[in-house]
A and B are shown apart, each in its own frame.
Chain A
Amino acid sequence: MKEKINLRQFMILIFINLLGTAVIFLPSIATNFAKADSWITMVITVVIGCFVICWYTTLFIEGGKQNFFVIIEQGFGRKGGFIFGFLFLSYVFLNAVANLITIGDFVSVQVLMGTPSKVITFIVLCTAVVGVRYGLEVIARSAEFFFSFIVISIILLFLFVSPKIDIQNVFPVFQMNQASTFVGIIPILTLTYLELIIFLGIMEQVSNKEKLMRGYLIGGIMGGIVIFVVTFLCICVLGVDATIRQTYPIYVLGQKISLADFIQRIEGIVAFIWFFTNFFKICISYIVLAKGLQHFFRFKSYKIFIVPLAFLIFYAAYEGFKNSYYIPEFINSTYVVISYIIAVIIPLLLHLSLIIKKLKR
């Protein structure tokens, strides 16, 4: 029986996926480029991201609303499809590993100090294995369940931090760093909307495909708004320099909370938001990876790949990044290149080939 998810669950998964790594790293990366104007960078990114979402949906519709790996084979032929499909899967694999590494790093640096990140990585991966074995439907339902907790946590964070806002930190608006404001969009897009290409791997499982674009867009815009507000709050509350210096500025934002000396330092809220969003992100990448392998090796079920993949992912995450300082370096170099090749150039070629084949017919 084919697993199906509804539009609302799909939208929630998009929202959660967008928040994943982005909410914790983006304020620092955006501010590093545009300083006080980083919120402008975020606004432009969300607008471009909406176009990216529309494009991905059009590509899916153009391919006959089928499995993305079938669309790849349709566009590039059997052998080409195999090569490009594996390139896409290598990106999904990188995404799963990178998210696992960052979750291990974050928890061991900020929450469970002294616990080796490998132990956290291992525990999260074991949980992801259980989730993926249950299938996409169960993952989507649990995401739906946790969605309200995530939203409430975000709202609480915004509310509690708002008294600390110093709007002067945002000024002068767009007076300096104009070029950097736009250049910053390049790495930020890779961490947000370009990662949504992974969802093409599960799009055929959405039950109401007619309204797919709507769900995709709503999820994307909601996620974009949250990232924008987080970045804006980081600049207003922490200031430009502190936001650049911190690896996890949103966590420091949580530490700043102090309401009437009664509600204090509830940075656990941030940890909660990030832990859950990143966990679902890992699960989605993992499931797409297994489904892709199932398609290319012509297996009956993707579940056969789950445990071997877990070993490979753990093995890759074990030595992945030598230290936390390597993560921003990786995001600004390797990840940019790989993201734009896999999430822009390959879909563009695929789209062109689908259009040409359609015209020939």
Chain B
Amino acid sequence: MALVVGILFMIFSISVLIFEYKKLIKIADKRETRFYLLSMVVLIIFATLQVSNIFSLNIISGYSWVAKPIADPIERILSTFQTGGGD
């Protein structure tokens, strides 16, 4: 099922890419168009792999992982004051 959704998602993404590219080529310069194509291709691959459950990279967890050294003690301190504690 996930694979089917992934394929559908890819078809949708590529049609968006073509639709946007046709519009973009009229207004953007070469550098911008190249950037657009590159970023879209990379993101479409990432998103399709993610949607089809082949690949899993959780960006939000990435934020938590980076903030972890400070976030953990802060959470512990805050939790002592929750539900009316801390007095």
Q: Using a CB–CB distance below 8 Å, which chain A residues touch chain B?
A: 32-35, 90, 94, 97-98, 101, 176-180, 183-184, 186-187, 244, 297, 299-301, 304, 307-308, 311-312, 314-316, 318-321, 329-330, 332-334, 336-338
A184 CA / B78 CA spacing, docked (Å): 8
Closest to B41 in A: A308
CB of B78 within 8 A of CB of A336, answer: yes
Give the distance to chain B from A288, nearest Cβ to Cβ, in Å: 18
Q: Mark B64-84, 1 if CB is under 8 A from A, else 0.
A: 100110111011001101111
With contacts A97-B59, A311-B13 taken as known, whether A333 is within 8 angstroms of B72 at the C-beta atoms is yes
Give the distance to chain B from A235, nearest Cβ to Cβ, in Å: 13
Give the distance to chain B from A119, nearest Cβ to Cβ, in Å: 11
A304 CA / B26 CA spacing, docked (Å): 12
Interface centre among A33, A315, A320 (most CB of B within 10 A): A315
CB of A333 within 8 A of CB of B82, answer: no
A184 CA / B35 CA spacing, docked (Å): 45
CB of B74 within 8 A of CB of A300, answer: no
Within the complex, which residue of B20, B27, B78, B87 is in contact with A187, where a contact is CB–CB below 8 Å? B78
Q: Using a CB–CB distance below 8 Å, which chain B residues touch chain A?
A: 13, 16-17, 20, 24, 27-29, 32, 35-36, 39-40, 43-44, 46-47, 50-51, 56-60, 63-64, 67-68, 70-72, 74-75, 78-79, 81-87
Instruction: Report whether over half of chain B's contact residues are helix, strand or loop; otherwise say mixed.
Output: helix
Give me 10 A-to-B residue pairs in the complex whose CB atoms sit less than 8 angstroms apart, sorted by A's number: A35-B83, A177-B87, A304-B36, A308-B43, A315-B50, A319-B56, A319-B58, A333-B67, A333-B74, A333-B78
Within the complex, which residue of A34, A176, A180, A338 is in contact with B63, where a contact is CB–CB below 8 Å? A338
With contacts A98-B60, A320-B60, A336-B71 taken as known, whether A33 is within 8 angstroms of B50 at the C-beta atoms is no
- CB neighbours (8 Å) of A32 from chain B are 82-83
Give the distance to chain B from A306, nearest Cβ to Cβ, in Å: 9
CB of A332 within 8 A of CB of B83, answer: no
With A35-B83, A316-B60 known, 20 other A-B pairs at CB within 8 A are A94-B60, A176-B87, A177-B85, A300-B28, A308-B39, A311-B43, A312-B43, A315-B59, A319-B58, A320-B59, A320-B60, A321-B60, A329-B75, A332-B79, A332-B82, A333-B67, A334-B63, A334-B67, A336-B71, A337-B67
